[in-house]
Amino acid sequence: MIKMLTACTREIDYVDAAVDELLAQLDLGRNQLKNSVGIVHCTEDFLDSGVVKALKGKLTFDLVGCTSNGTAARGEFGQLLLTLSVLTSDDVCFAAGISGEVGGDAAGAVKELYGRIEAELAEKPKLLMPFTPFSPLVGGDEFVAEMDKASGGAAIFGTRAYGTTIDFTNFYTIYNGQYSTDKLVIVAFGGNIVPEFLVAYVSENRVFKQKAIITAADKNVLHKVNNMSAIDYFISLGIIEKGDMRGLITMPVLLGLNDGTPVLMRTAFSPADREGSILFCGETPVGATLGVAIMDADDVVSSAENILREALEKAQGRSLLIYSCAARSFALGAESDAELKKIVECMDGRPESYQVTYSGGEICPVFNKEGKMFNRFNNNILIICIL
């Protein structure tokens, strides 16, 4: 059984005050159990100011996490907020580590890191919790595939780093006070843990009826749809214009893999070349059916509320780790905190502890009709792990 202690602070500049605030909320002396790991999410401001490093200095356990553009815990929510969840348990053990610079070699980085943490755990992990870098060279799918291979199919639940810079730089993974734009961090869980997973997709009635086939792609780069360039296809739908892809990033792209598994959600990122290809936040397999949806604020908030209520029925007092795609927040418009606010409202008065964070890519197991598990990297969804 895992207990989740949560803390949060908005104090960025006065490091000691921030750390004191956090420690006071945790009351580790009274609450900490045999094994612990801390998960921290914040903007890069907290890293730059030294709050995270100072915090690690006061903790006796590993501190992992990544930057984000919004987080919530303990009744507080917002962009300029640091949330900390300390997972502590007597019968679940944790092993955390950080890789070297990934560069373009996800396989090498994963293999090496996994080897270390498995050795530390001294057993095959039941759950891996990765915090992957927002790398232009390695997509989330690749990290997931390598972790899947290395672990022999353990459940993988985690997130990709995100942040608040408009140019998608300065998105960091965090490990024990260090932070990097190109290093993978993983926490492995062993022992008495039976996690449960839930996923909120876009509502079906928000999906455009036009469906197409991906006819050419190369990992994250979508070249052709229905044998026309990707950009031309989306222009033909009327949702972008020539030379202006704005808006597409806010529209979930749904890929049907025709293998009995749930739909794969993607976010279009930017033009990839001059030939009309588009860079996506995850792989776009050739042969998949492609559909486009529109999400507005109501969709985002209601889907979050619905999936959370479903999770709470299952949780029965257990703790919740929640990641919601940053792209969902784009649809909220001026009320950019509406989703976090709704989650906080729903959790008000509940016994379950929670930490919810915006994500640059959601990693979560999904199940086919036969109940077989597939670890997947998605965008534009909300994922929940009941610990």
Partner 1 sequence: MANTQQSPPQLTTLEELEAENANLRVEIKRLNRQIKSMNFTMEQNKNAYVARSRVSATVLAEKSRQEKYLNLLLENSPDTIILLDRNGCFAYCTAAFLNLLNVSNFGLIDGAKFTEVFNDFGGTDFSKRVGCTLKRALESRKTIRDEETIDVDGKGSRRIYAIHITPMFDEANTFDGTMVLFHDTTDAVLAKRQAEDANSAKSRFLASMSHEIRTPMNAIIGMSDLMRVDNLDNLQQRYFADIKKMAKALLQIINDILDFSKIEAGKLELIPADFHLAELYDNICSMSKFTANAKELEFSSSIDASLPAAVYGDAVRFRQIFTNITNNAIKYTRKGSVSLALRRHAQGGREYIEFSVKDTGIGIKQEDMPKLFEVFSQLDLKKNKGIVGTGLGLSITKNLVSMMGGELKVESEYGKGSVFTVLLPLIEGDPDNIDRSNELARVMAKDDATVLVVDDNHINITVALGLLATHNISGNAADSGEQAIEKVKGKQYDIVFMDHMMPGMDGIEATKRIRGIKGEFYKRLPIIALTANAVTGARDTFIESGMNDFISKPIEPAQLNSVLAKWLPPEKIMFVNDTVKPTADAAQDVCDDGAALAFLDNAMLIDKLETLNDACFYGIDGNAAKMAAQLEDSVDDERIGGYFQEISRFVRELEYEKATEKIAEVLAILKKEQQKM
Query: 244 vs 370, which CB is nearer to partner 1?
Result: 244
Q: How far is the CB of 309 from partner 1 (least distance, A)?
A: 22
Closest CA to 161 of 178, 192, 176, 182: 182
> Closer to partner 1 at the Cβ: 43 or 151?
43
Residue from the set 31, 165, 192, 306 that interacts with partner 1 by CB under 8 A: 165
Told to check if 1 binds partner 1 by CB under 8 A, we report: no
Q: Is 175 helix (H, G, I), strand (E, B) or coil?
A: strand
166 belongs to the binding site for partner 1 (CB under 8 A): yes
Stretch that binds partner 1, among 127-135, 219-227, 241-249, 378-386 (CB under 8 A): 241-249
* Category of 337 on φ-ψ map: left (φ > 0), alpha (ψ -120 to 50) or beta: alpha
Calpha distance 78→61 (Å, rounded): 26
Mark 337-357 as b/e (b = at least 16 C-beta within 10 Å): bbbbbbbbebbeeeebbbbbb
Q: Among residues 10 and 372, whose Cβ is nearest to partner 1?
A: 10
Q: Report the nearest approach of partner 1 to the CB of residue 88 (Å).
A: 32
Distance CA(246)–CA(231), nearest Å, equals: 12
The answer to whether 329 contacts partner 1 (rule: CB under 8 A) is yes
Q: Which of 6, 9, 67, 69 binds partner 1 (CB under 8 A)?
A: 69
Site for partner 1 in 81-140 (CB under 8 A): none
DSSP class of residue 376? Answer: E
The residue from 216, 237, 257, 346 that contacts partner 1 (CB under 8 A) is 237
Question: Which residue in the set 25, 79, 226, 261 belongs to the binding site for partner 1 (CB under 8 A)?
Answer: 79
20 binds partner 1 (CB under 8 A): no
Three-state DSSP at 357 gives strand
369 near partner 1, rule: CB under 8 A: no
Residues that bind partner 1 (CB under 8 A): 12-14, 43, 45, 69, 79-80, 164-166, 237-241, 244, 246-251, 294, 296, 329-334, 336
